[in-house]
Amino acid sequence: MQSYDELFENNRAWAENIRRADPTYFERRVAGQEPHFLFIGCCDSRVPTEMLTGSKPGEMFTHRNIANQAHPNDLSMLSALEYAVEFLDVKHVLICGHYGCGGVKAAMMPPKHGVVDHWLHVVRDVYRWHMAELEQLADDAARLHRLVELNVVEQIFQLSRTPIVQRAWARGRRPILHGLVYDLHDGLLKELVSGIDGEDKARELRAQVTGPTSAEKPRHQ
Ligand code: CO
């Protein structure tokens, strides 16, 4: 799709199709949303959240940013997280990266991309913390592939440390955190970490993100 007008034509056809199959569908949506999932993904247009998970409107609360990050000082992400956890009571929080991520790739290059270089500082840290493993890989493509995965796991760890998730866990084992990666080559999701539903599991995860270069990461100790 390239034309702006086409966007509206497609929209009208989509709404008409749904109305024909289910005449009260939209009316029922007006009443409210009860999603079971918060999806935190990359902005990349090749990762169509609803399409790839078969979700319908109302089923997936979504937040996107470059390189699918959960910065502990990002008010936009934290607001979405708090609303999803406190008010929508979502059962699952997903962080979904994707192979070939341009944001993660930019973090492997010298910082000359503009504002996004500031945004990517945690991804650069992830590279530094796992440098021993990454530098052993054959080439930059292999390093990017692995850094995409390491970044997802780190972001799940960051999420587990937020007061929002900590407060929710103090009340019970909800939400459950999952770290996924989407493969552009075959359209499939792969699970990297899953079932993080409390402080005990978060501690196990901490051992994973700490890795062999733990001495360089005082904030994880
Ligand atoms: Co991306």
User: Per-residue DSSP letters for 94-138?
Assistant: EEEEETT-HHHHHHTS-S-SSHHHHHTHHHHHHHHHTHHHHHTSS
Residue 68 lies in a domain: yes
Residue 221 lies in a domain: no
pLDDT at 220 over 50: no
φ, ψ (nearest 5 deg) of residue 171:
-90, -20
pLDDT at 142 over 70: yes
Whether residues 176 and 110 share a domain: the answer is: yes
User: Model confidence over 24-60: pLDDT tens digits?
Assistant: 999 999 989 999 999 999 999 999 999 999 998 999 9
Whether residues 6 and 72 share a domain: the answer is: no
- The alpha carbon of 96 and the centre of ligand 1 are apart by a number of angstroms equal to 10
Q: Out of 63, 92, 98, 130, which one is annotated catalytic?
A: 98
Whether residues 3 and 13 share a domain: the answer is: yes
Residue 216 lies in a domain: no
Total of domains in the chain: 2
Whether residues 13 and 81 share a domain: the answer is: no
Residue 117 lies in a domain: yes
Active site (annotated) includes residue 44: yes
Distance linking the first and last C-alpha atoms of the chain: 49
Whether residues 82 and 190 share a domain: the answer is: yes
Whether residues 10 and 67 share a domain: the answer is: no
The sheet carrying 37-41 orders its strands as: 60-64, 37-41, 92-98, 176-183, 188-196
Which residues neighbour ligand 1 (ion) by CB within 5 Å?
A: 42, 44, 101, 103
Query: Which residues make Cβ contacts (< 8 Å) with residue 207, sequence separation at least 6?
Result: none
Residue 115 lies in a domain: yes
Whether residues 7 and 57 share a domain: the answer is: no
Whether residues 16 and 55 share a domain: the answer is: no
- 5: containing domain: 1-31
User: Model confidence over 178-194: pLDDT tens digits?
Assistant: 999 999 999 999 999 99
- The alpha carbon of 189 and the centre of ligand 1 are apart by a number of angstroms equal to 14
- The alpha carbon of 180 and the centre of ligand 1 are apart by a number of angstroms equal to 13
- The alpha carbon of 97 and the centre of ligand 1 are apart by a number of angstroms equal to 7
Distance CA 104, CA 169 (A): 30
pLDDT at 215 over 60: no
Residue 220 lies in a domain: no
Q: Out of 44, 63, 92, 96, which one is annotated catalytic?
A: 44
Whether residues 98 and 174 share a domain: the answer is: yes
Residue 219 lies in a domain: no
* pLDDT, average across residues 132-155: 97
Q: Out of 92, 96, 101, 178, which one is annotated catalytic?
A: 101
Active site (annotated) includes residue 42: yes
Whether residues 90 and 199 share a domain: the answer is: yes
φ, ψ (nearest 5 deg) of residue 189:
-90, 140
- The alpha carbon of 120 and the centre of ligand 1 are apart by a number of angstroms equal to 11
Distance CA 199, CA 176 (A): 11
- The alpha carbon of 53 and the centre of ligand 1 are apart by a number of angstroms equal to 17
Active site (annotated) includes residue 101: yes
pTM, 2 dp: 0.91
Residue 218 lies in a domain: no
The amino acid occupying position 76 is: S
Distance CA 46, CA 42 (A): 10
Return the CATH number at 166.
Answer: 3.40.1050.10
What is the chain's mean pLDDT, rounded?
Answer: 93
- The alpha carbon of 22 and the centre of ligand 1 are apart by a number of angstroms equal to 35
Q: Out of 12, 29, 46, 121, which one is annotated catalytic?
A: 46
Identify any residues that bridge with 93 across adjacent strands, giving them in sequence order. Answer: 38, 177
pLDDT, position 211: 57
Whether residues 25 and 38 share a domain: the answer is: no
- The alpha carbon of 181 and the centre of ligand 1 are apart by a number of angstroms equal to 10
* pLDDT, average across residues 139-167: 96
pLDDT at 199 over 60: yes
Whether residues 37 and 109 share a domain: the answer is: yes
Residue with tokens 């497609």: 10
The answer to whether 168 and 175 are in contact (CB under 8 A) is yes
Q: Out of 42, 63, 96, 130, which one is annotated catalytic?
A: 42
